[in-house]
Structures are given as C-alpha cells and as structure tokens.
Homo-oligomer: A and B are copies of this chain.
Amino acid sequence: MPSAPPDLILAGGDVLLHDGAWRVERADVVVRDGRIAAVGDAVRRDAGSGMGPRPSTTVRDCSGCLIIPGLIQAHVHLCQTLFRGLADDLRLEDWLVRRIWPLEAAHTEETVYWSAALGAAELLLGGTTAILDMETVRHTGAAFRAVERVGIRGVVGKCLMDAHPEGAPLELAESTDAALSEAEALAKRWHNGAGGRLRVCFAPRFVPSCSGPLLRAASELAERFDAQLHTHAAETIVERETVLRTTGLEEIAYLDSVGIAGPRAVLAHCVWVDAHETARLARQGTIVVHCPSSNLKLASGVAKVPELLAAGCQVAIGADGAPCNNRLDVFAEMRLAALVQKPRLGADALPAAQVLELATLGGARALGLEADIGSIAPGKRADIVVLDLREPHLHPAAGDPVSRVVYAARASDVRDVFVDGQPVVLGHELLTMPIEEIVREADRSAAELLRAASLD
C-alpha cells in the first residue's frame, strides 16, 4: 500500500540526530501530517522512482544548512516582554515590587496580547519552537490568542497567587476560588487547542504568594487535565529563608507536601537547593529549569546544574522574562549555561553536547511532551529549525557541529522554522503575522503601560 505523499521535504542539509549522543548526517527530512515521516534519502529515492517530488510536496533546499530540532524554553513570561529595559540592574525583590508587579497590574487584554505576540515572534525568529510560559493573574486568554496566531508551541498558564506578598498591588490579588476557577475555565477553553499545539499549565507564582490549598488544588487540576505544573522555586536566598520561616519546611520538601513534585512539576531556577533537596528532586523526577542569564542579572546566583544532572535530576533551560535577561534568545542561554559552570568546576564542566540536550530533550520533558518533540526522529512532531551556516562567525567548518551550535551560533543564524510541519519563519521572515505591526503595537502598548503604572 503506497503511503501518502509527504507535505514537505527539507532537502540536502546536515541533520542533527540524537540516539544516545548527538551525530550529524547528510539527509533529507520528510514531513507528513505535521510529523516527521522519515530521515534519509527522500529526494533521490523519489527521483529514482521516476516520479520526482509530487506537486503537492514542498521541497525546501537546505544545502549548506544544519537542521536541528526546534529548541525549547521551559520558563518564560510572555506577558513581561513589554517590560524589557524597564527594570535593569535591580535585585529580585526590588525588581518585583518596584517594576514588575506594578506593570503586571496595569496590563489590559490588549497589552497582554501584544506583549505575548512580541515575545513569541522573537522566540520563533530565534529558533525556539516551544515554551512553557507563565502569564500574569489576568488576561491569560489574550496570551493564548497571541500564541495561537504567531504559531509557536505554547504551554501557557495563568499566574496563580492568592496570598498577598508584601509590596504586591491589590490588582494582582485573587481569592483562592476565583484563581482556580479561572484556571479551570482556561484549561477547558485552550488545553489541546490548535491541533494540540496549545496546552495549559497550572502556574502558582511561587510559594510566598500562594496558600497551601491553592498549591494542592493546582496539583489536582494538573492531574485532572493531564497538564504540567509550573512554578518558581529556590530562586534567591531570601525566598529560601522566607519559605523555611513561614512553612517550617525546606522549599522542595514543602512543595512536595502540597503535591508539587514529580515529572509533572516544573520548578524554575532552583539556585538555592542543597544536596538533600537535590536528591529529593532526582528521586521524584521533578523538573528543574535553569535560567542562567536571569539568575545572573537579578544577582540570584548560579544554579548547580552539573551537580543536579549528576544526581539524576531532569533539567531544562529558559530565558525567563525579557526584563531580567533582556533577550529571549535560547542561543544566549545555552552558551551561558555552558560557560558559567566552568570557573567553579573546570573547563570540561557542562560541555556543549549536554547543554544542547537541556534545550531539546530536557525541554520536551519539562513540557510533558517527550514523546512528541525534542529531537528529529520519525513519529515526532515536525518542530524543526534550519540554521544557515554561511556567516563568518560559524567558520571554519572543521569543528564539532554541536560546539558550533552552542558556543558560536546566534539567533540570527535561524533561517527557517517549522512547527507541526508548518512553516512559521522562512528566510528569516515571520510568516504568521506582519512583524511591523507587532513591533508598532508593542511599542504603543508599552508606552500605555508606563503611563498607567506610575513607577517610582
């Protein structure tokens, strides 16, 4: 029985494959119905059959390019993209109270929409095809609409916070019931939307802004909807001490006690976990998201990623939000993740190959999608990035291709991006929305937020 013709062939490139370790093969990637159908010699085989590529098949020439799995960031805040450059050189607690919370409180449906569209566009253009996203308390539907339209794979959660941390504006306060019922309504509306490209996560902000019942209910909702839990943990020493003082437990143990643990639980940061907590995270299969730029910029510290990995923890990577980075650039995060461990542990700590796993297979696991994304393999969804290798900073060509991706490549090397086999970026241009409109409306929305937020 002849199989249906492919929808798309990425032809003639070098393909980065993962079977235990990374290897590169000159091959064609064949896509059918949004999934990778085969990796091999499709074009020549077609020619040999005397049929040539079918008219319904798009063949994209990728010669001179490296075809890599779509990169995954497992901790971002699209609603903060409009705050880029508005909160620099501040410590986490000041950064939240003086800038981020007032700006989040000023958000409207429209400003959240343009913030998410700007962030999603930057992410796709830079080779990130899937994200685990935490929004603000309100207007999460607007973020979903932007993610749906721009075309990134998004696991998006409304921020849950029913306790009122010191300095937070009243606009961000919700009752436990209101928070949970909105989260549930969002899940009913969006979970598995857009052909499965959109999913919800349940996203309590962090322990200091959440009651125990809220955290437990979020965990139950995640179980019920087969969705991920997404929160911050152990980001700063202040947070660690606050949690210990208010709950009487170490943070990882406390989260476990309220059901935030295991492969469904994704904890951003984990800079301040000790060896005992690391062992607990590993035992549970809880996922840690390393955000190296954010942890440096907010002076939080450096997460002990090699130790986490050695203990058997699952680790992914993320840029966090634009105001604490200020890029949403997975290439910047990968490079920094590798570099920042070396003075402490030696030049061979966290080598390039391991870092690239964090941004692919690790990310897929964090999103609960390890069967579907994170590598180029038959049966997986066709989330694929084509890197143009022509620029001088990627030469000579003699070196290790994984080192080239992690240490030398830049977001601007991303030529084409496919999500579910659909082209969303071709020739460095976003196809799904006019980029000029996104930038113009984002600028206008940010000016509006600044007027409304009355910052100090």
Contacts and interface: CB of A to CB of B under 8 A. Distances in A.
A359 interface: no
B89 A395 contact: no
A108 B118 CA distance: 49
A400 B88 contact: yes
A438 interface: yes
Given A121-B392, A343-B299, A348 B408 contact: no
Contact of A90 (B335, B339, B347): B347
Interface stretch (A23-31, A176-184, A321-329): A321-329
Contact of A450 (B398, B438, B446): B398
A126 interface: yes
A347 B95 contact: yes
A111 B189 CA distance: 61
Interface stretch (A79-87, A261-269, A378-386): A79-87
A297 B396 CA distance: 19
A88 B351 contact: yes
Most B CB contacts (10 A, CB to CB) among A91, A393, A398, A400 go to A393
Interface in A314-356: 325-329, 332, 335-336, 338-340, 342-343, 345-349, 351-352
Number of copies: 2
A84 B408 contact: yes
Contacts of A348: 89-91
Most B CB contacts (10 A, CB to CB) among A327, A352, A404 go to A327
Most B CB contacts (10 A, CB to CB) among A407, A436, A443 go to A407
Contacts of A94: 347
A400 B85 contact: yes
Contacts of A44: none
B336 A82 contact: no
A403 B83 CA distance: 12
A392 B435 contact: yes
Contact of A398 (B300, B438, B446): B446
Contacts of A447: 396, 398
Interface string A351-395: 110000000000000000000000000000000000000111101
A296 B343 contact: yes
- A-B interface, 7 closest residue pairs, ranked by CB to CB distance from nearest: A85-B399, A396-B446, A412-B412, A296-B339, A299-B347, A326-B407, A299-B342
23 contacts: A84-B408, A85-B398, A85-B400, A88-B352, A88-B399, A90-B348, A118-B395, A118-B396, A122-B391, A122-B393, A295-B343, A297-B339, A297-B347, A298-B347, A299-B342, A299-B345, A325-B407, A327-B408, A328-B393, A392-B438, A393-B411, A395-B439, A395-B446
Given A299-B345, A412-B412, 5 more contacts: A296-B340, A326-B408, A390-B436, A396-B442, A398-B446
